[in-house]
Structure 1
Amino acid sequence: MKLGEQKNEGVEDNVEKKNISQRMKKLCAILNSPIIDINELRNILWGGIPDEMTFSVREKCWKLALGYLPLNREETEKVLKKKRDEYENLKKQYYKKNKMSEDELKILRQIKVDIPRTKSCYNIFCNRKIQELSEHVLFIYSVRHPACGYVQGINDMITPFLIVFLRPIILKKEITSEDIDNITDDKLKNVESDLYFCLSKLLEQIQDNYTFGQPVHWSKYLKEMDFQQMLLFMQRFPTQNWKIQDIESLLSEAFVLKNAFQSSPKHFS
């Protein structure tokens, strides 16, 4: 590497650090406002949340972006209490009732099969407490949303929420099963409630956003599918008969998208 190249890299690093610092200040200012400007928040979140931010900031940003937390900061505690009480009532109504229907038992059996498979390479998802709360959330969501119900793959969608919601409690990036065992039951109940409502918010947005106006390979097929069929389809694309030109076309579109998002490297982080 030439000396000039090393100097340029140093300048770029300094510029990047300055940009991150400015974004962190702007993000903190938005979150500390009495009334949070959701459009400003989403604009800054487009580039990702800087790794230097605290775990609690990331958690709050996710909940705000999904529409779970109120934009009026004074109402946050009141809304959270109401939502958590509501979830406990839902659990009593749907999960803890004396008798389930055949359809409900079928859903529960499938969830019980899928839960142990969820990110089994990470020991926290093998933790009994995590598996139990995941089962509650997935079952209650499924019976309350019969139009989409439960489909394999939804169990994997809860994992990033769990990590983001657990880190502010444990104050560690790498969470172990032992860390989970040390969390109080009340805190785990709060995580479970927040997980349920945030998953619901996310899935609502997915169902309302099929492929309208998006010129992708599979749009005409997805438009004909219901929510369950769409998720199953995306887990196993029918690519077995693809030819070289199909692969070339896909790679070309991927290159276009990569360049379109290159100014937002952390958009999907």
Structure 2
Amino acid sequence: MNIRIFDTPHEAGVYAAALAEHIIKNRPKPVLGLATGATPIHFYQALVRLHQYGLDLSRVTTINLDEYIGLGPSHEQSYSYFMQKHLFDHTNILPDHIHLPNGIATNLEMECNRYDGIIQKNPIHFQLLGIGVNGHIGFNEPDDLLQSKTHVVRLQLETVKSNARFFNQIEEVPKKAITLGVQAILQSEQIVLMAFGPEKANIVAKSVLGNVRTDVPASILQLHKQVTVVLDRESAKQLVDEYGNLRTELKRMDNS
């Protein structure tokens, strides 16, 4: 596991986009697993800039992590709308290369199976992740057992409250979502986990330094051979010593 700490989220986003660029330029058919929310916006801004300066994204296939159930693509808080606004409308990624779960599918079980089929045909080379304040990745919430495949999840109250800032009122926040399972995430060739702000410091430390446990879903990333954790100084506070240097045990991990 590699830990990279930056002064600002903007700098962190530029670094994460550079990691994606390496995959895009060195794979004939690169597949990017993508996330939504406030954190990855910095990544998308940097990737759009790279495209504006000549990075061709026409060979890229994208597979998003999740989608709210009950929100169609035209809803301003759907993740489909988010992706159009922050990435797809500004690049040459082909429409038929873009994949998101259908939050208004009439048969959700069939939709989950359909999405697993897409992932099987398009193994993910670069998986971008954020992390919830409760440690969720995608919408894989803390539980006694983490689901391996794409599934419907009931969002925990903590997640609903956190996401309420994007809606007019908390009652408007969907209570269910479709999300990739942990198997698809762990099968990705490379994973980049991004986190910013002091409210993420505790869960980042639990995920990186603590034991692998299902009530901290992000801790399962410790089992992956190529994970880069991209942080700002606020979210990294519990990973550094009094001088601001990476803690000794993390240095060993970073160099392994």
The answer to which structure has the higher helix fraction is 1
TM-score w.r.t. the length of structure 2 is: 0.26
